[in-house]
């Protein structure tokens, strides 16, 4: 009897996963033109909330890509303003406006083409007021505004990770499904973690090692993150995300 090797098991598992994703993506296909883009009800009403607000969101990406990655964005409302400005990076913005960075008045907590967003961090009041100028500066200085690469970056996760590194008030870590968060460029290999609680090494976003109080330990292989979080305890895996306590 022929011996079954780990490589055979991996190949079969990869084939089954691919077949499932293709099948499910076709069965549950949602037209992006008609997909739900309404508010998820997670943000304070800007007409009622007078204090400054900063919120960081992430939602699974559109269609089959949602199995692998999330799309994040940052919503900002200045004190006494009656609207939010949403900062994000998209490929279509690059095609339309020659910059991948979008800064527009918008609903802060929109469903991302049918996918409900997760609120990663929220600042209200004085802390948000302090953070907003630093966010605006980080958006202006984003070094990859002239390009967008789905994998391994720079992409929307690269953009938000850049802002998190530059704003001390934003202490959240992006989820392990934030493919592109570890991309530092082609000439930078060391940087603080997005939460500011540790450091990371990254080789073009393809191979990375992260250690931080908030991130725990993470290893990135081909943009996919595997890790252990110690506080709160959790296992971090590609596709699945966190298994354990929620990161708050």
Which pLDDT tens digit goes with each residue over 225-234? 999 998 889 9
**Average pLDDT of the residues of the chain:** 89
Output the six-digit token pair for 224.
Answer: 């996919």
* pLDDT attached to residue 47: 95
Cα separation, 74 vs 81, whole angstroms: 16
- Whether residue 55 is predicted with pLDDT greater than 70 in this model: the reply is yes
Cα separation, 229 vs 175, whole angstroms: 11
Q: What is the pLDDT of residues 160-217, one digit of tens each?
A: 999 999 999 999 999 999 999 999 999 999 999 998 999 999 999 999 999 999 899 9
- Whether residue 151 is predicted with pLDDT greater than 70 in this model: the reply is yes
* pLDDT attached to residue 27: 47
120 contacts 36 by C-beta, under 8 angstroms: no
Tell me which residue has tokens 């979080």: 229
Q: What is the pLDDT of residues 3-17, one digit of tens each?
A: 665 554 545 544 555
Cα separation, 64 vs 177, whole angstroms: 14
Element (H, E) at 244: strand 241-244
Taking the CA of residue 179 as centre, how many other CA atoms within 13 Å lie in the half-sphere pointing to its CB?
A: 22
Residues 35-56 have a mean pLDDT of: 96
* pLDDT attached to residue 247: 74
Would you call 188 helix, strand, or coil by DSSP?
A: coil
Non-local CB neighbours of 152 within 8 Å, separated by 6+ positions: 179, 180, 182, 183, 204, 205, 206, 222, 223
């Amino acid at each position: 009897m022929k011996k079954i090797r780990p490589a055979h098991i991996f190949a079969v598992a990869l084939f089954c996963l691919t077949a499932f994703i293709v099948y499910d993506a076709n069965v549950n296909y949602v037209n992006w033109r008609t997909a739900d883009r309404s508010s998820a009800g997670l943000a304070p009403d800007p007409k009622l909330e007078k204090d400054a607000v900063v919120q960081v969101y992430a939602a699974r990406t559109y269609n089959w890509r949602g199995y692998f990655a999330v799309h994040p964005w940052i919503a900002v409302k200045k004190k006494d303003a009656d609207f939010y400005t949403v900062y994000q990076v998209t490929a279509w913005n690059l095609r339309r406006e020659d910059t991948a960075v979008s800064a527009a008045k918008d609903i802060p907590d929109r469903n991302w083409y049918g996918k409900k967003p997760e609120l990663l961090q929220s600042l209200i009041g004085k802390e948000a007021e302090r953070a907003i100028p630093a966010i605006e500066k980080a958006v202006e200085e984003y070094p990859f505004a002239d390009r967008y690469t789905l994998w391994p970056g720079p992409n929307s996760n690269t953009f938000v990770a850049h802002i998190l590194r530059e704003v001390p008030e934003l202490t959240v870590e992006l989820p392990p499904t934030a493919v592109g968060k570890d991309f530092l460029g082609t000439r930078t290999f060391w940087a603080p973690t997005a939460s500011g609680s540790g450091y990371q090494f990254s080789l073009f976003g393809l191979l990375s090692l992260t250690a931080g109080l908030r991130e725990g330990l993470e290893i990135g292989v081909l943009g996919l993150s595997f890790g252990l979080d110690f506080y709160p305890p959790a296992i971090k895996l590609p596709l699945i995300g966190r298994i354990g306590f929620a990161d708050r």
